[in-house]
Amino acid sequence: MISYVWDVETMNLLDKGFHPATTKLGVLLISKGYYVVRDMYFPEGFAEGNPKIVGEKYVNNRWYIKELFDEIKDLKRLIDEKCEEKDSFCRYAETSLRKILEQTTFIKDVC
């Protein structure tokens, strides 16, 4: 879990609706083996604490596999549809996708 309250780039990308894996903090979590990355900020009237990006380590269950496939699908779609220019989110998305596919042997057979 990494707070992104001081990371303006991450906050801007998430505010624009980009997947957390398309941020530099998402890449950092994925490179350390936390492949399912999600935003954990839910406004609750000043009781929610700092916004955080959370990474989930591999768990051999249906939820994790589904979330990982959805993340891979989202990253591929983003790269195919929105990456004409080399914006930071494109570099982060490409790096995240590459690291997931390189480091997870069970995914290679299905993707």
Domain boundaries, the chain: 2-108
**Would the pLDDT of 109 be above 60?**
no
- Total-model pTM: 0.81
pLDDT tens-digit series, residues 56-77: 987 778 888 899 999 999 999 9
Report H helices in the chain: 8-15, 24-31, 62-82, 88-103, 105-108
pLDDT band at 107 (very low <50, low <70, confident <90, very high): low
Give the confidence band of 22 by pLDDT, cuts at 50, 70, 90: very high
Q: What is the pLDDT of residue 96?
A: 93
Q: Which residues contact 90 (CB under 8 A, 6 or more apart)?
A: 22, 78, 79, 82, 83
